Every structure is written in C-alpha cells, then in structure tokens.
Structure 1
Amino acid sequence: MGCEEPAAVDRGRYPDAVTPWEDEEWRETALAWAEREAAAHGLRAAGRRTVRLRPWSVLVRIPVGERGAVWFKAAPPGGAFEAGLAEALADWIPGRVLRPVAVLPERGWSLTPDGGPLFRDALDRGVAGVPDWEEMLRQYARMQRALIPFAGRMDALGVPDGRVAALPETFDRLVDENAALEGADRRELRRLRPRLARWCAELADTGIPDSLDHSDLHDGQSFVPEPGRFLFFDWGDAVISHPFCSFLVAARAARARYGTGVLPRLRDAYLEPWTGTGPTDAELRRALTLAWRLGAIGRACSWGRLFPGACGGAGPPGEEEGARWLRELLTEPPV
C-alpha cells in the first residue's frame, strides 16, 4: 500500500493545520482499514488517492475503479460521534441520508460511497435554482420531524446537547471562556443574556420538540442523486437542539447567492412541513426568527471540535471563528 503522502493534498486555507495525517503510523493504519472495509464490499482500491485536510477532518478519496470512489473520513475527538450517528441515521431514515460503507465509531472513522452530484455543483451549473433550495429545505424539515423520536438515542451516541433549555448556560460558558472576544463585545454579550434567556423560553413554549440540528446545512452538504431528491451528509457539527436552528446557515448561503429577497420563500418552504403541529403560522415564523439568532450558539460550539493542537501555537483552536459567531447574536435576523 505504501505510506507516503499522496501528491494530491488539499489544505485549503489552513496550510499549517496539524491533523493525524502527519503521523505516518496513523496514516498507514487508517488507509489499511479503509481499503480492507472497501474490499469486504467488493470495492478494490485502484488509483491515486486525493486528500483534503482541515483542522476538523481528514478526508481521503479512494478510487475503486469502475465503481467510482469511496471516501474515508476521520473526525476529531469532539466530533467522533459522527461515524455512529451517520450509521444510525441510515437505519432510522433510510433514503434521506448517505449510508456508510463502514464505520469505526470508537475512532471516529467512516467510509462512505460517492453520493452523486453535490447540490452546490448543480447550482453552479445552472441546472438548479431557488425552487430546488425550497425543495431541499422541505425534505430536510420532513427528515427532522421523523427524527424527533430518536433524540434520546442520539444522546446515547454522544451527539452534543444543544437543547433550548441548555442554551443559556452554554452561552455563559462560551462568553466566559472565549479569549478571542474583545472586552467591549464580551460586555455587550453579557448585557444580552437576559434577552437571550427570554428567547429560549419563548422558543421552547412554541411546542416544537428538539431534534437533530445539522448546524452547518448549506448547498455543499447534500447530494442530488436524481432531480428533486436530496441526500444529507456531514454530521460533524450536529447537535440535538431546536430543529429550526438549522435554517440559519442554509439561509445565509442562499442569501449570499440570491440576495435577501429570497429569504421569505425559503422560510415558508422550510416551515411548510411543520404546519399542523400546533403553532399558528405566525408563531412558526416567530419561532424561526428566534432560532435564526440562537443557532449561532451551536455554530460557536462547533468551532471547539477541532483536532488537538490543530492551529499550532496560535491559541485555542477555533476561538476566532467562535467569537465571530457569538457576535452574530447581537445582529437582528433578516426574517
């Protein structure tokens, strides 16, 4: 098999990030596991691997001849739950997520098949547009509703707890511990705390149960294996929280592509599967506005799930990004 780093290594905006890939023994063990599991499913590795290294994941594309490719992913300790969650989701909601070829939950390793074209690629090619965003959000919301009964089982898998009741204490910890926050920002966030607690109480009173929040849902996190059908993947930032918090990142991604005017359409599409669950339409829209704001807490938390020492000596990993998301709490949502 060999253990030299392949020529095709993508480090993106993080050329100095430290990941397990730099450890030759780890690299050899990981690739041997991936190729052994692929072979057990009739998939023989053949061709040059390509590697994508980020402070939060090691991702290796392994060609398997005419069958395309499989993808090996290693998550950091804080996101190791992703492998087991991905396997469980494929059993709980088959056909809505990418089913892994194999997982090794104790190490946070997974091996997945190629899921087909990315939604982002379809958008870039001009073969998808705003109606497809609407349909993606409808399908995602239906998936969240189907997952409500499994919240307790997600706890057992180690999915982080971002339930609305816990958000004020999580907020306190983040504000107190984030060294990248300027003094003025920290003071302003602390003044926000009573309002934040009221937002959480109001959102909980809406009566929509907690479910799975992807926490980084955008056009690069779903495949389009066939027109009109979406497969969701990449659960490393996920939390158990109010489902509406997922709208934040998706809406921001669509707004960057189409402008703020697209947001009411996307909001209504996302809320459509939640109608008839008890709240009025006005209450659902108000809940989405609250969740837009509170979703920033989950995003701030996710930046703590990096490989140990990933950012070298530049301070605790992810703190700058975490601080940026905390400051988003001070901004009025555009919906």
Structure 2
Amino acid sequence: MSDPEDRWRDPTFLAAAHAWIHQQLDGGTGGPVLQVEQTHVTPWSTVMRVTARHQVLWFKANDEPMRHEAALTAFLAARSGERVCRPTAYDRVTGWMLMTDMSPRLREVVAEERSLDRWHEVLDAYARIQLACEDQVDALLALGVPDRRLATLPGAYADLLAGLDDADPRLPGPETVEAMCAGLAALGLPDTIQHDDLHDGQVFVPHGHAHVLDWGDACVSHPFLTLAVTLEGVIAWGVDDEQDSEDVGPFLRSYLRPYAERHRADGARLLEAARTGMRLGWVCRAVNGHLPHDPASTHTRLRMFLDGRP
C-alpha cells in the first residue's frame, strides 16, 4: 500500500499546483512568484510557502473530505468582522487556496508572553463568528461542511464504535450520547459553524489582532462542542503544558458572554450546557476527525470523553 502522503509529492500534482500559483499571482501587484517551497505534508493536506516579490503567502491543498475549507474560509471571512482572513485566491473544485501570511501564531506569542490572556479576545471573537452563522446552516452544508448536528451524533458515534476493534469497554452506548444531546438541545441554541480543532496553532495574531484560520476540520454542530478541544484540550494545560494547571472558568465566561447577550440566556443554564458540550465535543472530535490509519488519535479523544484526560 502506498504512503498516503505520496500524492502530495507526486510531480504531476506539484507541477499543476505551481502552475496555478503562478497563474494567480504573476500578473498581480504582489507578484511575480519567486519561490515555492513545500513545507508541510500530511496524509490529508499539504502546505507550500510562496515567496512573491512583495509578499509571502501560503498555498494549501486538502484531501476530499476537507476540500470545502477554501470555500468555507471565504464564506466565513465575509461574516467574521475581519477575524477570518479572506483567501487571496481559491478554487472550489480542487479546494486549493492561497492565503496571506498571518504570522505569528498564538502558540509562539503565548510562549513569548508567558500568558494565556490573549485567549479571552480569541474566544469572544470566535463566539461572534458562530453567532453570525446561526442562520446559515443550509449554506454551510451546501459548501460540503460535514453535518455533526446533535440529531446525527448518536448514530455517528454508534458507527464509530462498531468500526473500532479495541474500543474501551467503559465507553457508554449510543443511548447515553443521545440523552446528552437531547439535554443540550433543550437549551434551544441554534446549530452553527464549529471549528472542531481550535487550538493555539490555528490562531494567528498579526499586529496583535486575532484571526481564526485552518477550518478544514470544521463541521455544522452545536456551538458548545468546540469547548472540548479549546478549553479542556489546550487552555487547561496552561503555558507549560501541564494538565489542569490553568482554571478554564474565566475563559469559558469570555466565550459565553456573547451568547448571553444575543440570546438573553440565563448564565447558570449556559454554564451547565457548556459542561455538557465539553463532554460531547470529544465525541464529535472522535467522529469528525477519525482516520482509519490513525486509530490512536480516535482512542485518545474517546478517553477524553470518558475521563477528561488523554
């Protein structure tokens, strides 16, 4: 069996990608292209650093299940209050896109500042992106964004467990997930865009202004499912990557504040729903991010669902 990364190194693909990059940039104000360097290859995507005469950009190509990222990024950019960068160019058929360099990443900024305080701005901005897409579910699904709404999650979870050879016997059945979904749905918040992998490597802060990028793992689901990765998987680990070293409560309140304002929701009910969302978020992440050649990541996410720790 060939390495799934080989397709991104195939000379035919590289020649086509380079030609497309030159076609987008050579005649424009930022061109011509001086160098294209393939910097990142995974089984599901590749990234190339594009150096033009007057700018640096990044080219990205995704595997079929994530090909919607380019069109989704453009869709969100128009509704994000400048918190999602609009692609310089993209192609809906191939899913290829070019993005302006937005360095530095939040990850490097946190390491330098020794503080997680910037996450408060990120979470507020991200919640407002979600709120702006509450009435856009049909449009999001039409773009190819996966459907992980609460009504679909128990069945998808059942299918995932059925396909795992060594699932943890402590994992509850689909009926437990269904009951959790019903409890969360009772709050009445609309489904919307959900990044599903919002960590400090996906947030960029050029000029100190946070931008949320890398929407390839995004899905349509309950907004609070996003809290699993962001709060429990990242922020709780603090600056020094030590589990439970940071109180996530203040960050959760920063995220929930726009929801309380928009929906005039009771704070206690929002907090209770957020805790349920944080648990269910790991089910969503396990389902949405499952790769047959990487079962270890799926098992880690399911352990997070069970125990809140990897």
**Is the 2:83–2:211 contact (alpha carbons within 8 Å) kept by the matching residues of 1?**
yes
Distance 1:254 1:94 in 2: 24
Counterpart residue type for residue 163 of structure 2 = E
Quickly say closer, same or farther: Cα 1:226–1:22, change in 2 above 3 A: closer
How big is the shift at 1:139? Answer: 1.1
How big is the shift at 1:17? Answer: 5.2
Instruction: Name the counterpart of 1:308.
Output: none
**Is the 1:239–1:298 contact (alpha carbons within 8 Å) kept by the matching residues of 2?**
no
Instruction: Name the counterpart of 1:326.
Output: 302
**Is the 1:303–1:317 contact (alpha carbons within 8 Å) kept by the matching residues of 2?**
no
Counterpart residue type for residue 193 of structure 1 = P
Instruction: Name stretches of at least 5 consecutive residues in structure 1 with no aligned partner.
Output: 1-15, 306-315
How big is the shift at 1:249? Answer: 1.2
Structure 2 residue 182 is the aligned partner of structure 1 residue 201 = yes
**Is the 2:76–2:129 contact (alpha carbons within 8 Å) kept by the matching residues of 1?**
no
Structure 2 residue 170 is the aligned partner of structure 1 residue 188 = yes
Paired residue secondary structure (1:330)? helix
Quickly say closer, same or farther: Cα 1:250–1:40, change in 2 above 3 A: farther
Counterpart residue type for residue 183 of structure 2 = E
Q: TM-score, normalised by structure 2?
A: 0.90
Distance 1:130 1:18 in 2: 34
Structure 2 residue 222 is the aligned partner of structure 1 residue 224 = no
Structure 2 residue 132 is the aligned partner of structure 1 residue 146 = yes
The correspondence of residues 137-286 of structure 1 with structure 2, limited to 5 A, is: 137-179=123-165, 181-182=166-167, 185=168, 187-189=169-171, 191-227=172-208, 229-251=209-231, 252-258=233-239, 259-276=244-261, 277-286=263-272
Quickly say closer, same or farther: Cα 1:209–1:130, change in 2 above 3 A: same
Distance 2:179 2:245 in 1: 27
How big is the shift at 1:212? Answer: 0.7
1:59 to 32, 47, 51: 47
How big is the shift at 1:166? Answer: 1.0
1:24 to 3, 11, 29: 11
Q: Which has the higher contact order (CA 8 A, sep 6+)?
A: 1
Distance 1:254 1:113 in 2: 27
Counterpart residue type for residue 85 of structure 2 = L
1:253-272, Cα deviation, whole Å (9 max, x unpaired): 12222444421111111111
**Is the 2:237–2:246 contact (alpha carbons within 8 Å) kept by the matching residues of 1?**
no
Counterpart residue type for residue 196 of structure 2 = S
Distance 2:27 2:80 in 1: 25
How big is the shift at 1:129? Answer: 2.3
Distance 2:27 2:214 in 1: 24
1:20-46, Cα deviation, whole Å (9 max, x unpaired): 222111111011111211224332211
Distance 1:202 1:40 in 2: 55
How big is the shift at 1:230? Answer: 1.1
Paired residue secondary structure (2:77)? helix
Q: TM-score, normalised by structure 1?
A: 0.84
**Is the 1:207–1:278 contact (alpha carbons within 8 Å) kept by the matching residues of 2?**
no
- How many residues get paired? 300
The correspondence of residues 23-102 of structure 1 with structure 2, limited to 5 A, is: 23-42=10-29, 43-47=31-35, 49-67=37-55, 69-102=56-89
**Is the 1:20–1:27 contact (alpha carbons within 8 Å) kept by the matching residues of 2?**
no
Distance 1:98 1:22 in 2: 27
Paired residue secondary structure (1:216)? coil
Distance 1:173 1:195 in 2: 15
Paired residue secondary structure (1:107)? coil
Q: Percent identity?
A: 31
Distance 1:317 1:200 in 2: 29
Distance 1:260 1:40 in 2: 51
**Is the 1:178–1:322 contact (alpha carbons within 8 Å) kept by the matching residues of 2?**
no
Instruction: Name stretches of at least 5 consecutive residues in structure 2 with no aligned partner.
Output: none
RMSD: 1.9
